[in-house]
Structure 1
Amino acid sequence: MEFKDFWTKKTLAGLGLGQLLSLLITSTGFTSSELARKGINVPTSQSFLNYVLLMVVYGSIMLYRRKALKAKWYYYIVLGLVDVEGNFLVVKAYQYTSLTSVMLLDCWTIPAVILLTWIFLHTKYRWKKISGVAICVAGLVMVVFSDVHSADRSGGSNPRKGDLLVIAGATLYAISNVSEEYLVKNADRVELMAFLGLFGAIISAIQISVFERNELKAIHWSAGAAVPFLGFAVAMFLFYSCVPILLKINGSTMLNLSLLTSDMWSVLIRIFAYQEKVDWMYYVAFGAVVIGLICYSWGDKDQPEGGKKASDEGSGTLDEEAGSGNNNRGALR
């Protein structure tokens, strides 16, 4: 393989967009931490506002376009349920197990995504992509077992319960990612976001009324609490809006590999913003994840407008909007 094979629009767009999504996830982590420091612990309520934004923005576009649905509406109910509960289970796990365990077990999303895309989307993973996945995961393992997390490894009030919650949540993440990849390639991105927002908001509202109603009543809202709360919702809205684009370009495996760098971005922010010192293994781990991402995406060819995907990428499904001759890469230009 020649070096010029790396400089394709598809590869560079996938790497760049993947790190933008990773930074957005990092920003949600910082806003959540700020809310936690203020004693506000309402994760489902935070997600609810994101789903409302998706419903309003993309629902308005759908109404303006007045196009027939390309997928059955009840598919989106299942997707909304899986997405909401995946977020809920992983956040809930922090009450019982350590951050280290969550970081490690959350990696289960990657092999689960690979298995599901291989079974249902017929994605072919060659040795180059498998090696890229292995390097990325090895980089994260280096982070987890560095000195930074040494005191955290035995934490948690009920580690077994917390670990099971993380594995269940990671599995739901995988199902959600693969489902979105299938829908964005066979249906319509705007339709996907509108209905995910609609049913996600409904399911979240029900869950809030059961689990978080009392916590919301006890919150004393001020600018210091409202700003990070709204910041979280905006970051999540941008994240959800960009995810289908990356799924269409590179698939759900690339998405989950890119998000491995979110913890490392948070460390770099702490270094420069708060002058904190971290273990040297963080830098090595960050480099390993970057190398793994390059190995995974190296040589991906740009696809012609309205064409099928290459055999190395997947199932040869129809383009999102083949009837109009457009594809998602146009959104990145």
Structure 2
Amino acid sequence: MMFDFGRIWTPNTLIGLGLGQFLSLLITSTGFTSSQLAKKGINAPTSQSFLNYVFLSLVYGTILLYRRKALKAKWYYYIILGLVDVEANFLVVKAYQYTSLTSVMLLDCWSIPSVMLLTWLFLKTKYRFKKITGVVVCVAGLVLVVFSDVHSGDRAGGSNPRKGDLLVIAGATLYAISNVSEEFLVKNADRVELMAMLGLSGGIISAIQISILERNELKSIHWSAEAALPFVGFAVAMFMFYSLVPVLLKINGSTMLNLSLLTSDMWAVLIRIFAYHEKVDWMYFVSFGAVTIGLIIYSGGDIDEDQHPPNAAIVDLGPAVKQDEEANSGNHSKGTAAGSSKTWVA
């Protein structure tokens, strides 16, 4: 197979690869903090994510209020998105109580086929041969980690691995729904609006869920710096992650995001090498190289083939976007207006 590397190494490709790996590092840090809290016997998955939603609503909500503009998407879209996102975080963080860090990260790759199916069904995204090849290479590279001795001890951990694995798969499916929804909204509405409304709806739903499920757990925790720091660290890392995800979604889409996050397990091993001076199996480095090559193939292949597909999804986002369409209709001779409620989704 021949690739035109002049087309692959575009600014968008380089930004997507770099940003994707930074997001992967952030996910690695949240995985470590969740694992540490689980080892301390702290079982409050919704509470861990609550601070993140508060940060999002405060920061982006302030910007949104300052703009004093109507929402571009209907408010109930964000309520649904907030519910899905909160429960995805709840299920995956809950899984750390029953299974190992490695199992969570490996099974989380279930989100990739889920995202591809959802974007194909609802966003009408076309995946050509090169992109599918990139996905296969990425997943094959990650599977190699399973056979590496570096994780042999970690995989055996967990009080109820089967229950934990089912929670991860369910959470990964909800993550896929959340990511595809965010991709649509960030391309058709507004990034600041998305973050502000997701923070508001997620915060409200999280608060309700905490009062029902985790109130007694929070009361039983002996709050100290050792217990509070992982909570705050998790929230800060998640806030940065949520703030940057829409940027990558707009540039490269939700499949690229989920492929990039495959390397989080590998970054975890690198941290162990340099921080704890552990030795790793040679297969790990082959795996890391395979995932990197797969990411390059996916992000660089078929750059122009997926733009403006003939059967792109058309969704009515709301009256505010329709007004933008009418205001800009005279400036475009072809395609749809900038900010239109009926936009091609690649």
Shorter-chain TM-score range: 0.7 to 0.9
One-letter code aligned to 1:82: V
Letter in 2 for 1:255: L
Name the SS for the 2:205 alignment partner: helix
Amino acid at match of 1:25: I
Of 234, 237, 256, which residue of structure 1 is paired with 2:236?
234
In 1, Cα distance between equivalents of 2:172 and 2:192? 25
2:225 to 223, 226, 241: 223
Greater CA drift, 40-49 or 159-168 = 159-168
1:329 alignment counterpart: none
Distance apart, 1:207 and its partner CA? 1.3
Counterpart of 1:69, as a letter, is: L
Q: Which amino acid in the other structure matches residue 65 of structure 2? A: L
Which range moves more in the overlay, 133-142 or 156-165? 156-165
Determine the structure 2 residue equivalent to 1:61: 63
Counterparts of 2:301 and 2:137 in 1: how far apart (Å)?
17
Q: Deviations over 1:26-48 (max 9, x none)?
A: 12223333434444332211100
Identity %: 78
**Structure 1 stretch displaced more, 8-17 or 271-280:** 271-280
SS at structure 2 position matched to 1:209: helix
CA distance in 2, matches of 1:138, 1:130: 12
SS in 2 for 1:212: helix
1:310 aligns with 2:312: no
* Aligned: 1:79 with 2:81: yes
Residue in 2 that maps onto 1:277: 279
Shift of the 211–37 alpha-carbon distance from structure 1 to 2, 3 Å rule, reads: same
Counterpart Cα distance in 2 of 1:150 and 1:197: 38
Contact 2:106 2:265 in 1 (8 A): no
Instruction: Tell me which amino acid in the other structure corresponds to 2:66.
Output: Y
Which amino acid counterpart does residue 143 of structure 1 have in structure 2? Answer: V
Listed as ranges, the gaps of 5+ residues in structure 1 are 303-307, 327-333
Q: CA RMSD in A?
A: 2.7
Residue 187 to residue 309, structure 1, CA distance change in 2 (3 Å) = farther
Paired residue total: 320
Contact 2:131/2:301, CA 8 A, preserved across alignment = no
| Partner Cα separation in structure 2 for residue 58 and residue 95 of structure 1 | 32
Displacement of 1:134 in angstroms is 0.6
Indicate the residue corresponding to 2:208 in structure 1.
Answer: 206
Distance 1:32 1:163, change over 3 A: closer
Equivalent positions of 1:153-172 (< 5 A) are 153=155, 156-172=158-174
- Map 1:18-29; keep pairs closer than 5 Å: 18-29=20-31
Residue correspondence of structure 1 range 317-328 to structure 2 within 5 A: none
Paired AA for residue 280 in structure 2: V
- TM-score (normalised: structure 1): 0.87
- Aligned partners of 1:139 and 1:163: how far apart in 2? 20
1:232 is displaced (CA, Å) by 1.4
